[in-house]
Structure 1
Amino acid sequence: MDRRSLIRRAGIAGVLAAGAAPAVHAQAALRWRLASSFPRSLDTIYGAAEVFSRKVRALSGGRFEVSVHAAGELMPAFDVVDGVQNGAVEAAHTAPYYFFGKDETFAIGGAIPFGLNSRQMSAWTYEGNGLRLMREFYARYQMVSFPCGNTGAQMGGWMRREIRSARDLQGLKFRIGGFAGKVLERMGGVPQNIPGGEIYQALEKGTIDAAEWIGPYDDQKLGFNKVAPFYYYPGWWEGGLQLDLYVNQKAYDALGAEQKAIVEAASAYAHVETQAKYDVKNPQALKQLVGAGARLRPFPADLMTEAFKQSMALYDELSRKNPNWRKVYADYARFRSDQNLWFRFTEATFDRFMQSQRL
C-alpha cells in the first residue's frame, strides 16, 4: 500500500501508530528589504510602506518579513528604482513620476497634469488596462508593480510671493514633483526636483521661491507655512497621485503562490488605507494652517488654462517621439474621457451642490 492510500484509509492517528508519517519541513522565514523615497517623519506616505510590511507579516504568520528603510538609509530617495532593478533591495515604495528622466512613461503610473483623480486611477489600474500596461513597461526595468497608496487630489503648494497671473511663473524657482516640471518649464518656471526631507531648508534660505508637496497634513509637518505665506490650490498636476510598490522581478518569481498573494493583498490594503488617512487628517490640518495665518489662494484662471494647454501639447509631442508613452497614454486618455463624462453627471454635480451648502 502506498503512503497516500495509507493516510486516506487510516487517518493521521493510524499513520503515526504505523510510524509512516510523512516528513514535515518547517518553512524557512523570508526577509526582504524595502527602500522608501520618503522621510520617516511622514506617517502617511512613508507609513504606507510600514502598513504593507505589517500586513505581510500578519498574513504570513511571521514567516515573511519586510524591513522598511527611509530615504537615505540604504540609498537616496531617487535611486530606489535602480536599487530594485539591480537587486540591491527586493522592493521599493515611491512615486512613479520621480523617474520620468528614465522614461516619461513612468509618470503615467503616478500622476500627470490634468490626469485621472484617485478613484479613476484605481479604476484604470484594477479594472481597466492600467496594471497590465504599466507592468509591461516596468518589465524593462526587471520590476513588478503593485498599487500601494494614493494621496487624493493635492494642493498647489506654498509661494513666498503672490501669484496673480500666469506671467508670475516666469523665472519662479518651484520645487515640483517630477514630471509636472516639464509643464512648468514650458510656462517659464524653473522646476526643482528636491526630496521631501530637503524642501524646507531650500525654501527657508530662498534657494527656491515656491514648493509643493502633498497637502495640509504633510505640509504642516514639514513646516512650509513658516517660510512661505501663500497656499495655492488645486494641484492641477496631481489629481490623484498613485504610489507604487516596485518588486524586483527575480525576487518576485522566487515567491510561492501564497507569498505572491500576500504581497498583492498587503499592497492593496495599504493602497486603500493611505488615502483614508489623508482624507481624515487633511481637513483638520487645513483649518489649523489657516488659523495660523496661511493665506489660501486659488490659482488664477489664466494660469490654469495655459497649464492645461501646455500639458496637452506636451502629451501630443511625447506620443510622436516616445513609443512607450504613446502605447500607455492612448489607453489612459480614452479612459479619462469616459470617466470625466460619467463624473460630470454624478460625482462632480453632487460634490458641487454639497460644497455650496451650509452643513
Structure 2
Amino acid sequence: MSIKQKLSRLSVGVAAAAVLSGSMISSNVMAAEKIRWQVPLAFPSHLVGLTTPVKHLSESLKAISDGDVQLRYYEPGELVPPFEIMDSVSEGKYPAGYTWVGYDQGTIPALPLYSGAPFNMEPPAYLAWYYEGEGKALLEEIYDERNIHPMLCSIIGPEGAGWFAKPIEGLDDFDGLKIRFAGIGGKVLEKLGASVTMIPGGELYQSLERGTIDATEFSQPAIDKMLGLDQIIKNYIMPGWHQTLTTSHLLVNKDVWNELEPQSRALIEMGCESATLKGFAQSEFAQPTALRDYESEGVNAQTLPEPVLRELEKATNEVLDEIAAEDEMFRRVLTSQREFMEHHSIWHSKGYLPRDFYQYD
C-alpha cells in the first residue's frame, strides 16, 4: 500500500472516529439531563381536554427522551390543595404544577384574562394573540416576580354558563343566588346581586346535594357530566359567556427552569404545544356526545336570549374597566386583548362562514 493510500485511509478513520466521538458526546449530553419532576394537578387527571393533556405531555416527553424526562403528576390534594399550586412552585416545594391560573386572581388580578375571560376571544384567535402577539411575553412578565416560568399547556372552547334550579330569563334571576362561579364572571354576577363562592371541582356535587350552593358552573358539557352535575340539576345554561375558552398552564419554578439544558427547555415547550393541540381535539370531539346524552336524559340545555347576553356584556365591560383602573398589569393585558380582537375581527367576520351555515340537522 502506498503512503498516499495509507494517509487516505488514516484520514477516513480519523474522520469516522471524530463523527462517532461527536455523536457519543451529544448522546451523553442528552442522557446526562435527567429530569424527574413531581407535578401536582389542580383538577382530576381524567377530565377531557382540561387535564388529559398532562397525560399526553408526560407520555410524549418520556418517549421522545428515551426516559430521560419524566413528569409524574399527582391528583388534586395528593401533594398540595389546588389553590396552593402556584405558591408551592414559586417557593420551590415542587418543581412544577399543572393548574388553572384563574385560581390565583386574588393575588394576581390579570390571570383570569389568561385562564378564560367573559366575552373574550375564541380559541383560534387566543392562540394567535398568545403565540404571535403579546400574550406569551406579558404572561412571562407577570410570573417573573413570582419566580415562575409559565407555559400554555391546554386550551378548550367555551364552557357552559352553569347549572341552575330554574331557567334564566333575565338578569334579575341572578339576584340572591348562592352560586359557585369562577374568574371575572363571578365578579359580574356579584355586581348583579349573586352570592359568589369558589369551590374546587371535586367538591361541587356534594355542595349542590347539600344545598350549600343553589347553582354552579364548572366547565364544558362532557366535563360537567363526568362530575355528575346533571344528576342533581336539570337546567343547563349556555353559552359560556363568562369563559369563551379555558386554559391550563404548566408552571415551572424558574430556578429549576434556568438550570435545564437549552434542548430540555425546548423539548418541554414543544411538549406543551403538542399537549395544547391534543387536548383541544379531545375536547371538541367529546362535547357533542355529551349534549346528545343530556337531551336523552331530560336535561334542559337552555340558550340564553340575546338581550340577556347583551346586558351581561354591558355589566362585564363595567367590571373589566373597574379592575383595569386599579391594576396596571390587568390594564395592559386587557388593552392588548381588546386591540387584537378589534384587529382580528375583520378576518373573523369576513373569513369564516356565519354560524347558521353549520346547522346540519
Give your verdict on TM over 0.5: yes
Report what 1:104 is aligned to.
109
Structure-2 change in CA distance of 1:22 and 1:234 (3 Å): closer
Report what 2:357 is aligned to.
353
Report what 1:282 is aligned to.
287
Counting only pairs closer than 5 Å after superposition, residues 1-359 of structure 1 correspond to structure 2 as 10-12=14-16, 27=32, 29-347=34-352, 349-355=353-359, 357-358=360-361
Separation (CA, whole Å) in 1 of partners of 2:274 and 2:158: 20
Q: Does the 8 Å contact 1:151/1:214 carry over to 2? A: no
Separation (CA, whole Å) in 1 of partners of 2:18 and 2:119: 68
Q: Does the 8 Å contact 1:118/1:242 carry over to 2? A: no
* 1:170-208 Cα distance to aligned partner (Å, 9 max, x none): 011111123321111011111121111000111111111
* 1:296-337 Cα distance to aligned partner (Å, 9 max, x none): 111243432222111111222222221111122111110111
Separation (CA, whole Å) in 2 of partners of 1:30 and 1:151: 28
Q: Does the 8 Å contact 1:187/1:307 carry over to 2? A: no
Structure-2 change in CA distance of 1:354 and 1:256 (3 Å): same
* 1:89-142 Cα distance to aligned partner (Å, 9 max, x none): 111111121111012111111111111111111010011111011111111211
Q: Shift in Å at residue 61 of structure 1?
A: 1.4
Q: Does the 8 Å contact 2:44/2:51 carry over to 1? A: yes
Separation (CA, whole Å) in 1 of partners of 2:332 and 2:317: 16
Q: Shift in Å at residue 344 of structure 1?
A: 1.6
Structure-2 change in CA distance of 1:8 and 1:71 (3 Å): farther
Q: Does the 8 Å contact 1:46/1:70 carry over to 2? A: no
SS of match in other structure, 1:144: strand
Separation (CA, whole Å) in 1 of partners of 2:103 and 2:91: 18
Q: Shift in Å at residue 354 of structure 1?
A: 2.1
AA of the residue aligned to 1:234: P
AA of the residue aligned to 1:211: T
SS of match in other structure, 1:155: coil
Q: Does the 8 Å contact 1:98/1:179 carry over to 2? A: no
SS of match in other structure, 2:179: strand
Q: Shift in Å at residue 278 of structure 1?
A: 0.9
SS of match in other structure, 2:79: coil
Separation (CA, whole Å) in 2 of partners of 1:218 and 1:247: 26
Q: TM-score, normalised by structure 1?
A: 0.91
Separation (CA, whole Å) in 2 of partners of 1:141 and 1:98: 15
Question: Unpaired runs of 5+ in structure 2?
Answer: 1-9
Q: Shift in Å at residue 13 of structure 1?
A: 5.2
Identity of aligned residues (%): 29
SS of match in other structure, 1:188: coil
Separation (CA, whole Å) in 1 of partners of 2:14 and 2:58: 42
Q: How many residues align?
A: 347
Q: Does the 8 Å contact 2:40/2:73 carry over to 1? A: yes
Q: Shift in Å at residue 235 of structure 1?
A: 0.7
Q: TM-score, normalised by structure 2?
A: 0.90
What is the root-mean-square deviation in Å for CA atoms of aligned residues?
A: 2.2
AA of the residue aligned to 1:155: G
Separation (CA, whole Å) in 2 of partners of 1:247 and 1:15: 36
Q: Shift in Å at residue 43 of structure 1?
A: 4.4
Q: Which stretches of structure 1, 4 residues or more, deviate above 4 A after TM superposition?
A: 6-9, 12-16, 21-26
Q: Shift in Å at residue 220 of structure 1?
A: 1.2
